[in-house]
Structure 1
Amino acid sequence: MKGDVVRDILTVTLNPALDLATSAPQVRPNEKLRCTQPDPDPGGGGLNVARAIHQLGGTARPFVALGGNTGDTVQQLLEKAGLDIIAYDAPGDTRQSLAVTDLSTSEQFRFMLAGPDWNAAQLQAMRMSLVSVTQPNGFVVLSGSGPNGAAPDLYAEICQDLSQTDAEILIDTSGPALAHLAAGQDRPPFMLRMDQREAETLARRPLVTRKDSADFAKYLVDQGAARTVIVARGRDGSVLADGQQQLRVNAANVEVRSRVGAGDSFLGGLTMALARDLPMEDAFRYGAAAASAACMTEGTQLCLLSDFENVLLQTQIETL
């Protein structure tokens, strides 16, 4: 990716994980499964976004809550990868997650353990710290689940907190936090991204066609969920609505080795392009190419620059 970064990128990970990726000849119940040596990676939405940006040749500042021995391991992995992190003390041990590939079917099973519990005072202190490290007119990426103990409005409250900084906030979350944002906010974030299943859950109906997804994205914009909404439709690409236009970007035709981190790679490629002052259409393409590149790597490796540059040539925008 070419161009100089002109705006800061801060990624926020409040419930990180030590991701372990392994494989077994076959995944069957009630048996001891002999797995290969696990590959460890720092995980959690915001960390994956920062790692993707770094692997694409850019820079992001990861704000990450870490605790215990597992947190120490995650920090060491991040530093080894060349990331300059802003470590925040979590109130308990950092969680772990496990991805196991069944070699007989190529299906992947993903097990996500719970992180530490936060109380109201701890959450408030974290929010104040986050404001203090946010640079004016930068980008802030809130990706992944919030910490245990947080109310569904946590990300919406962070949007309020950061309004004084003029930062543009991009959010990719799920469950009650996503539902709260989708209902509309007084200070909507710059961007909200979700996958097709999440969009259909919010819409309470199937979104069969690309136009169905794009129209629902526009509905969310009109509701005040965000100024721009993206719905990822898997192999059918992604659609975007911002109140003025509806766009679709295709997904490159690649061999899928792992979908872990594809959505975070999308957000990383898109945010990095925006930080380099590229127009939204180009940023949308870069996000899609980064997601496709992530699918080409094993386990939790995310997107590689060489793969990204190749699939970008296959990535096109159309108006819906």
Structure 2
Amino acid sequence: MRDILTITLNPAVDLSTAVDVVTAGPKLRCARPRTDPGGGGINVSRAIRELGGNSRTFVALAGHTGDKLAELLAMEGIFCLSFKGPGETRQSLAVTDTTTNEQFRFVMPGPEWSQPQAEALLETLSEHVQEGSLVILSGSLPPGMPNGFLAKLCDTVHTNGADLVADLSGDPLTRLVTDKTVRAHILRMDQHEAETLNGAPLPSRAETADFAQSLIHKGAATLVIVARGADGSVLATSDTALHVAAADVPVKSKVGAGDSFVGAFTLALAQGSPLANAMQRGAAAASAAVMTEATELCRREDVDRLTSDCKITPIYGCFDE
């Protein structure tokens, strides 16, 4: 099995709770809170662990909240490679209104980084990237990361003979698809991000596949995945594309669906599965994640049960299953 290394540069201690009604004014008496380690790469590692796999997670931690996060990771059996970051690791809060089942998510900014701190992080990261690894960069970048940081991180991964799996958003995603010095092996995004980059809606699976393929031709990645929400996901290579359906399940919370997808998909690839089968595992994990409450991710028994429900349909070309 290939080594998997996840990277989380802006982690958080995630607090989640529930209240009868979210309204301004009175004190809101909440349910007992749940505390989880959070951040894109961390959640991917948690999903991999839940599915019976192993990964290493490289995390920037700082202050007392960082110590708490390290404890939470240890409790879940996640192998943590910590880097001392600046300031104090952030927290986030998710509150569910039990009357409407709506979820309100409050995400704090991370601590500000300086250029010397960013350079020190890249130097340390280089020591942990192994040849042949699948390196997953997921989640937000912290404030203050200098121009060129993302390109240097990609170069660090490639120079050490590893493949980068990127699941980014906002400005880092834009840089990845427009800056020719930044390239991933696998790039994943959601439909909203794809349509924002495209500058127009992508109503059909074929149009989503054409857009994904255009990013490949521009050199952004070798393989692009676009999540279409309840309509499943589209995967494209330079000359082929497929669609994987989402399972029909009750939705409790959409938090963690993307991270569960990336964890299950990457684990399957690391274990030698063909792309089509890896997409099925990813789709099943995303479907399983929306069945769970708050910040909980997918459950292995649900993923195993739902995998066969996530049907593969070629859009064009042919994939081995």
Which TM-score band applies after superposition, normalised by the shorter structure? Answer: over 0.9
Match of 1:303 in 2: 298
Please tell me whether the aligned partners of residues 171 and 189 of structure 1 are also in contact (alpha carbons under 8 angstroms). yes
Please tell me whether the aligned partners of residues 126 and 156 of structure 2 are also in contact (alpha carbons under 8 angstroms). yes
Residues 177-186 or 105-114, more deviating: 177-186
Query: Matched residue of 1:23: which SS?
Result: strand
Q: CA deviation at 1:115?
A: 1.1
Q: 1:21-170 counterparts in 2 under 5 A? A: 21-151=16-146, 153-170=148-165
Match of 1:275 in 2: 270
Specify whether residues 307 and 152 from structure 1 end up closer, same or farther in structure 2 by C-alpha distance, changes over 3 A only.
farther
Deviations, residues 134-155 of structure 1 (Å, cap 9, x unaligned):
1111110000001110146433
Query: Match for 2:190 among 188, 195, 211?
Result: 195
Equivalent-residue separation in structure 2 for 1:286 and 1:186 (angstroms): 31
Equivalent-residue separation in structure 1 for 2:180 and 2:3 (angstroms): 25
Q: CA deviation at 1:316?
A: 1.3
In structure 2, list runs of 5 or more residues that go unmatched. 316-321
Query: Match for 1:20 among 10, 15, 19?
Result: 15
Specify whether residues 267 and 289 from structure 1 end up closer, same or farther in structure 2 by C-alpha distance, changes over 3 A only.
same
Equivalent-residue separation in structure 1 for 2:247 and 2:85 (angstroms): 39
Q: CA deviation at 1:214?
A: 1.1
Equivalent-residue separation in structure 2 for 1:110 and 1:152 (angstroms): 29
Please tell me whether the aligned partners of residues 153 and 181 of structure 1 are also in contact (alpha carbons under 8 angstroms). no
Identical-residue share of aligned pairs (%):
49
Query: Match for 1:207 among 202, 227, 234?
Result: 202
Equivalent-residue separation in structure 2 for 1:19 and 1:186 (angstroms): 34
Q: TM-score, normalised by structure 2?
A: 0.96
Q: CA deviation at 1:220?
A: 0.8
Q: CA deviation at 1:40?
A: 0.2
Count of residues in correspondence between the two structures: 315
Give the counterpart letter for 1:171 in structure 2: A
Please tell me whether the aligned partners of residues 152 and 176 of structure 1 are also in contact (alpha carbons under 8 angstroms). no
Match of 2:169 in 1: 174
Query: Matched residue of 1:42: which SS?
Result: strand
Residues 262-271 or 185-194, more deviating: 185-194
Specify whether residues 153 and 105 from structure 1 end up closer, same or farther in structure 2 by C-alpha distance, changes over 3 A only.
farther
Specify whether residues 153 and 319 from structure 1 end up closer, same or farther in structure 2 by C-alpha distance, changes over 3 A only.
farther
Equivalent-residue separation in structure 2 for 1:227 and 1:79 (angstroms): 34
Q: CA deviation at 1:229?
A: 0.8
Deviations, residues 64-114 of structure 1 (Å, cap 9, x unaligned):
011111111111111011111111101111000011111111111110001
